[in-house]
Amino acid sequence: MRFYELHNLYYIIIVPIVFVIFLIAKRRRVKTVEGMGNAGTLDRFSTQKIGGRILTQGAIVSAALLFFILALSRPQAGTRLEPVQITASDLYIAIDLSRSMTVEDVKPNRLERAKLSALEIVNSLRGDRIGLILFAGDAFVQCPLTNDYEAVSTFISSLGTKTAEASGTSLGAPLEVALRSLEATDDRYALIVLLTDGENNSGDPGKVIKEVKKRGIKVFCIGIGTGEGAPIPVYDETGKRTGYKKDPTGQVVISRLRNDLLRTISRETYGYYYKAGRTVDEAKKVTAAVRAMKKRDLELKRFTVYEDRFQIPLGVGIGLLLLYISILVKKNGKRL
């Protein structure tokens, strides 16, 4: 025997309080009767002792309340084995670590905003495998596909401005790494999410986009940044900002969100493009897409399921409540 909603047992403290209320009502009744004459004489001519009916009613109501609380706590006894088919999809999150991701046109900066979306996606998954790819001019798998969401979240949270020091961005690099990491037989269950400002100054991703499309893997792109853009901060070894990046002519470089290529990647692979806003709605949309995807069967597990027995105390409580009501009806009928 166990209680599934064990915390509801704390409500049992109400039971003695209810009985005390009836006890107080009995004492008041006795005092009222004593004001009318000798209590002993009245008892001899009465069918039951003064206040006895109130105590009986109090005991019935308190007992009914006790059984209702027991039912609310969901007592369980006995078990059965229930088969459950485990299904899942594969999701790779690729985060841009190029220097432009330190731009502060979104608060606090693009990288932190990308981390927020990534963490929201990870925390919303249920049973799907997830991996983490980091990229700039090149790409690598930081965390392979896993069900350990806590480990992936830890990797994402550890990313900072010192991590985003690489110059140059190749949007094709993370796609190539993902293709190498995914089994061809699992392509229709796979999804890639790019979190980037869309800058691409290292190679043409056209070829790898065609390969992703051929394998049937959808790519969702989340654009981080604004069209107006902002300067790219430059930091020293201690993490202190020393100025902004400049071009060969000495002009401050302004980095802007480049969403044209991101839209193309999403369209060609039958994915979607979202622009990160003040909320994390784009992450919720990605999660909804993952849940709607085809799932592959991983394994058949048998889980031990406890049988609910709340019906028993619930039935006893209802019976006691009906008994209390019948007493009231009988009492009122005599008064009439």
The mean pLDDT of 278-299, rounded to a whole number, is: 80
Sign of CA dihedral 163, 164, 165, 166: positive
- Model pLDDT for residues 202-211, shown as the tens digit of each residue: 888 999 999 9
Q: Where in the chain is the domain with CATH 3.40.50.410?
A: 85-299
Q: What is the pLDDT of residue 85?
A: 47
The b-or-e profile of 184-214 (16+ CB within 10 A means b, else e) is: eeebebbbbbbbbbbbbebbebeebbeebbe
By mean pLDDT, which of 15-29, 108-122, 300-314 is the weakest?
A: 300-314
Q: Is the pTM of this model over 0.75?
A: no
- Model pLDDT for residues 135-172, shown as the tens digit of each residue: 998 999 999 999 899 999 999 999 986 776 666 789 99
By mean pLDDT, which of 43-52, 139-148, 192-201, 245-254 is the weakest?
A: 43-52
By mean pLDDT, which of 24-33, 253-262, 280-289 is the weakest?
A: 24-33
- Model pLDDT for residues 43-95, shown as the tens digit of each residue: 554 545 555 677 888 889 999 999 999 999 988 887 766 655 456 789 999 99
**Long-range pairs for 269-272 at CB < 8 Å and ≥24 separation?**
269/209, 269/212, 269/213, 269/217, 269/218, 269/219, 270/213, 270/218, 271/191, 271/192, 271/218, 271/219, 271/220, 271/221, 272/220, 272/221
Within its chain, how far is the Cα of 89 from the centroid? Answer: 18
Instruction: State the Cα–Cα distance between residues 97 and 168, nearest whole angstrom.
Output: 10
Give me the architecture of the 85-299 domain, per CATH.
3-Layer(aba) Sandwich (3.40)
Q: What is the pLDDT of residue 118?
A: 96
96 or 240, higher pLDDT: 96
For 197-219, give the DSSP string.
Answer: -----SS-THHHHHHHHHHT-EE
Residue 332 has pLDDT above 70, yes or no: no
